[in-house]
Structure 1
Amino acid sequence: MRKALKFVCALLSLLIALLVVSCIRTFLLTVSRSAAPTPCHRNESQGYITSEDAWPRFKKALQFRTVSNAPHVYNRKDLQEFVTFLLQSYPQVFQSPHVRRDIINEYSLLISVSGKNRSLTPYLLAAHLDVVPVVQEEWTHDGFGAEEEDDGSMVYARGAIDDKSNVIAQLEALSFLISKGIQPQRGFFLAFGHDEEVGGHDGAARIAEELWKRGIHDLDFVLDEGLTVLKDLFQGLPNNIAGIGVTEKGSLHLNLSVHSEGGHSSMPPKQTSIGILSAALAKLEANQHDIIFDEMTHNFVESISLDMPFPLNVVTSNLWLFKPLVARALAKGVSESMVRTTTAVTMFQGGLKPNVIPPTAWAVINHRIHPKQTIAEIIDRNRAVVNDKRVTITPLPGSYNAHPVSPHHPKKDRPYRLIRDTLLQIYPNVVTAPLPLVANTDTKHYLSFSKHVFRHNPIVLDVKTELHRIHGRDERLSKANLESAINFYYHLMMNADSDEHPDKSHSHSSEL
């Protein structure tokens, strides 16, 4: 009895000591945090751009029906008119001696900005001109009408978020830079593909070919659309999260099929093709892929840890002790896709008539592949889980592995730090964090140019009320969001000239 009591007391003492150490460590990490960059304010005389002039141009851009329906199938007339509109709307940009513009493959636009210091490796900002179709009967606004709220604070149209806001914001930022008589030290490119929504093979892929032909084989970094500043992503975190996409998850479509003799329903076999297939699908859904707590997830948790309320800040900032607990928490809800390959049954077909045993049944499963896994590994695991030779598993066309994870240590990796600190200048109270992007972008065509490839859209979206509008009904963007995006790109262009902290590369005027 005494030995058991001593053991319990020793265990309690150890737990208390670990908790005390964790609390002390959390406190020390909190007080030693690096100072955030100086925020950019609306009343700066030289360093802030209002959206008043940009807003009409943005609304006009939204009215071009630049729809992509399938590979090589897009609205060529509106794309051509949209490119013409952009060339006419930014005369300061396209008449500058430091700017070269090329129309690639008829409808894509490549803008080259020469830098003063040719020894600095240029970077690339990407966006796309095309949009997904509109099912008008599902909308309460004209999908291409660019209709405003009564107070003029919001505009509704396809492409408002994805992705004409980035096209206009980048051009507005560059126009402002040129209007100030500034030629950047580091050159850069704006790359606007015209078929991103259907793979980018006629647009971004051809832009990449053009850069390669010019001898541009290395880019300092690539930044394309992607994660936004998310409001109310995690319960308990008081700040918005600015997710910086450091990779894209892969995608695998698998066809599962069963073939049997069929026959009359009055003489059924022990299992029909539907029953066999259903059992296989049930096994896959019941046996989800393992949790993967890799470096990216570790860095994500560390990034948000000190902004969490007590005691969550103690738990998340001491992964050496609480990692298993945090991993299980992340594997639930919206964060599940971050830590594992996901499984979704998306299609099912079987049966001909109510009284006929179906000879064939098939289903399609979509896996979003974690960067630590491959297509081959997922297929092998599925076959092992199903463990039924009657079920044929076949990969469908269009599958691809995850992108490489870009270096994203905030102290060691300058390109990531550059984007992070620029975001903090525009959104001083956000928490920046590396995350995987589950959607797909044109970055796949630029992966050979740089190991620093990022995906972010510098606007704020409410997870509950706005995130579903991307590719959905009543897509919209606020004037405040457009203004923030313009200033993000302008400050990024300024900050990219230096290897220093943004406060040293881009000074801010005193308040007026």
Structure 2
Amino acid sequence: MEQKQSKTAIQWLLIGGAIAIGLASAFLSISDNPLKALFTERFPSFDDSGLDKYTPGSQSVCQQVPKLSPKNEKAQQFIRDKVESPKYQEEIIDKLSGIIRIPSESYDELGPIGQDERWDIFYDVEKFIKAKYPTVFSTVKLDHANTHGLILTWEGSVPASKAKPILMLAHQDVVPVLADNVKEWTHPPYEGHFDGELIWGRGATDDKGYLISIIESLDLLIESGFKPKRTVILAFGCDEEISGENCAKPISNLLHDRYGDNGIYLIMDEGSVGIQKEFDQSFAMVSVAEKGYLDVGINVTSTGGHASNPPDHNVIGILSEIVMAIENSPFPGKVTSKNPMFGFLECAAVHAPESSFPKSVRNKLGNVANGISKAQQDLARELDNMRYYFRTSQSVGKINGGVKINAIPETASTLINLRLSVDTSIAQIEEHYENLVEPIARKHRMVFEGFHSSRESSDPRKVSLFGVDALEPAPVSPVDAEAFKILSGTIKHTLKPLGQDNELIVTPYLMPANTDTKCFWALTKNIYRFTPINLVDNLNRAHTTDEFIRADEFVREPLFFASLVLNADDAVEQDTS
């Protein structure tokens, strides 16, 4: 009898629960019902916003601006006609081929400019662009930052205090080509070969194509008769591939001295993805932030001796244990609304075809936006193929230890490269590594020195941690700023979607690596990294064998940059009113 009563009670509880859920759903379906606010306040993990906010066609997120045509129709038409001319296209392709032929490689171990003769190749780059663009150099003011950093300033008619300048960046240097790998190239890396479709060579995509395009845009604007109200600045670094310390930083310092904090309207620099097709929809992916950077060094030292009488664990064994602990403890991933990649997911949810965007991802977006930790972690796991957009990466890149086979090694060391997610900090990374490594040091009765130890121990048996080239994640640039809207409108005006797509959707994105913009944070909040071409075919060609760029994409880049200058100039009337 008691079992029957218990069973009946459970049935009534289930029925009551179903009724309650039904009533709650009915109440919650009324958007203005105060019970909805009460319910979501009482149960914060509940979110139904994804049911309508993130459905295809929704206007509540990722709103697109219309195409933005420059008011200076004469200049715009002149440039468009020129870019479409076969003769012009032949000339600009020849310019890119020519600058590729200058092997302006930058090396990690370069000495100071003026002392290491390997820097002298950048004199050839400057000489080349001066020869190819005499009209530009007779119009702009040229400044040098630390010899090889080039700053071209086209002064506007309105003072910079009333109309902040637009700044476009590119870098002259390329990563070295290993001599042993030259034979693997389809065409020699420094030949600048054009086969009628592709322009081959080191720097074609990263970043000499960009450099030629932005200086070409100034040349076209000058030829069109355009006179800027807003000052236009081009800046070309010489060491983006190694640090930016020798050129990018001096360039930034010079411009900061000239224009001050937030003295620049907009910064444009190269982007890593350009125009791509994801979820069966074309996206113009504008990187509005970059991951942070840190190299972690670990030194393990001890006393040496003859290999015939070894300890149970020498420094190489202890270091190996540390490396294993690090690799077995990867950083967790989570998708937060702070990450620009969440903005991309929002755009894909409302603009991609409903059948192409995973429903399971769509259903999590609302809870992620509301800061629900479990949803943030679950979504990161579901998007594991994109894991390093959502979590800190770590890669053991170098390891050294021992000098002779019959001697007990006295030192062993490693360097680990990390790219910090936008949600973390250098302090958190350091704490994580100290928590992993210190117990191993104590286990082997060794002194442990953390990243910021106040004093160095004289004990030869120790484990030491240190950081190199520490860089916090970049500030996230705003997507609601006037500058971003002008950039978005320019993209829509000058660039086309891929295939048969009806529209090119502009979306925020994340730069997983770093550009010279890391030196320019103080100059403006409006830093955007975007390469205005379809990078589908050559996305992974930079820094490796057979780098190339599609000629039909490259020749149209100057139209984008020139249109951006014109549109930004049109906004001056609003700035000065």
Could you list the runs of 5+ residues in structure 1 that have no partner in the other structure? 501-512
Alignment-derived partner of residue 389 in structure 2: 338
Residues 1:156 and 2:200 are matched in the alignment: yes
The corresponding residue for 1:509 is: none
Give the alignment of 1:67-466 within 5 angstroms.
67-69=105-107, 70-72=110-112, 73=116, 75-96=118-139, 99-118=140-159, 119-139=162-182, 140=185, 141-149=187-195, 152-215=196-259, 218-229=263-274, 231=276, 234=278, 237-259=279-301, 271-292=313-334, 293-297=336-340, 298-310=342-354, 312=357, 315-316=361-362, 319-321=365-367, 324-325=374-375, 327-331=377-381, 332-350=383-401, 360-386=411-437, 387-389=439-441, 390=446, 392-406=463-477, 408-409=478-479, 412-429=480-497, 430-462=504-536, 466=538
- Three-state SS of the structure 1 residue aligned to 2:545 is coil
Give 1:175 shift.
Answer: 1.2
Which amino acid counterpart does residue 378 of structure 2 have in structure 1? R
Task: Report the CA distance between 1:35 and its aligned residue.
Answer: 5.5
Equivalent position of 1:505 in the other structure: none
SS in structure 1 of the partner of residue 468 of structure 2: coil
Q: What amino acid is the match of 2:132?
A: S
Cα displacement (A) at 1:476: 0.8
Segment drifting more, 330-339 vs 1-10: 1-10
Counterpart amino acid of 2:319?
A: L
Q: Distance in 2 between matches of 1:57 and 1:206?
A: 27
User: Amino acid of the residue matched to residue 155 of structure 2?
Assistant: S
Question: How far apart, CA to CA, are the structure 1 residues paired with 2:15 and 2:404?
Answer: 71
The Cα shift of 1:433 comes to: 2.6
- Partner Cα separation in structure 2 for residue 156 and residue 78 of structure 1: 20
Alpha-carbon distance in 2 for matches of 1:317, 1:54: 48
Conserved 8 A contact 2:54-2:362: no
Kept after mapping to 2: 8 A contact 1:39/1:424 = no
Deviations 1:89-109 (A, max 9, x none): 12332333xx32234443332
CA RMSD of aligned residues (A): 3.4
- Partner AA of 1:192 in structure 2: F
User: How far 1:393 moved relative to its partner?
Assistant: 4.2
One-letter amino acid matched to 1:63? R
Q: TM-score, normalised by structure 1?
A: 0.83
Q: Which deviates more, 391-400 or 105-114? A: 391-400
Deviations 1:67-109 (A, max 9, x none): 222253464443222212212212332333xx32234443332
Query: Which letter maps to 2:167?
Result: L
Tell me how far 1:342 sits from its aligned partner: 1.6
Is residue 291–residue 327 contact of structure 1 (8 Å, CA) maintained in 2? yes
Match of 1:59 among 92, 97, 118: 97
Q: Number of matched residues?
A: 486
Question: Secondary structure in 2 aligned to 1:253?
Answer: strand
- Structure 2 letter corresponding to 1:6: I
Gaps in structure 2 of 5+ consecutive residues: 1-9, 30-45, 71-75, 449-462, 498-503, 573-577
Higher CA-based Rg? 2
Between 1:260-269 and 1:326-335, the stretch displaced more is: 260-269
Structure 1 residues 170 and 227, CA, compared in 2 at 3 Å: closer, same or farther?
A: same
Q: State the identity as a percent.
A: 25
CA contact (8 A) 2:490 2:567 kept: yes
Tell me the distance in 1 between the aligned counterparts of 2:406 and 2:120.
52
Give the SS at the match of 1:142: coil
Instruction: Name the residue aligned to 2:34.
Output: none
Distance of 2:404 and 2:247 partners within structure 1: 46
Post-superposition Cα deviations, 1:338-371, rounded to whole Å, max 9, x if no partner, equal: 2222222223344667777655443322221223
Q: Which moved more, 1:119-128 or 1:372-381?
A: 372-381
Structure 2 residue aligned with 1:470: 542
Question: What residue in structure 1 maps to residue 452 of structure 2?
Answer: none
Whole-angstrom CA distance in 1 between matches of 2:404 and 2:244: 42
After superposition, where does 1:8-27 map in structure 2 within 5 Å? 9=18, 22-27=50-55
Q: Cα deviations across residues 480-499 of structure 1 (Å, max 9, x unaligned)? A: 22123212211111111234
Paired residue secondary structure (2:288): strand
Looking at structure 2, the residues matched to 356 and 77 of structure 1 have their Cα atoms a distance apart, in angstroms, of 44
TM-fit CA distance, 1:262: 6.6
Confirm or deny: 8 A CA contact 1:67 1:74 kept in the other structure: no
| Alignment pair present for 1:30 and 2:58 | yes
Q: Alpha-carbon deviation of 1:231?
A: 3.5
Tell me by how many angstroms 1:161 deviates. Answer: 1.0
CA distance in 1, matches of 2:275, 2:422: 23
Q: Which amino acid aligns with 1:373?
A: T
Cα separation, 1, equivalents of 2:293 and 2:145: 28
In 2, Cα distance between equivalents of 1:114 and 1:317: 51
How far the C-alpha of 1:166 sits from its partner, in A, is 1.2
Distance in 2 between residues matched to 1:474 and 1:318, nearest whole Å = 40
Query: Which stretch of the first structure deviates more once superposed, 185-194 or 437-446?
Result: 437-446
1:176-230 residue CA offsets vs partner (Å, 9 max, x unmatched): 1111111122112011122322323332333233334445551112112232325
Partner of 1:507: none
Mapped to 1, the partners of 2:505 and 2:376 lie a distance apart of 18
The Cα of 1:47 is off from its aligned counterpart by: 5.0
- Counterpart Cα distance in 1 of 2:49 and 2:384: 30
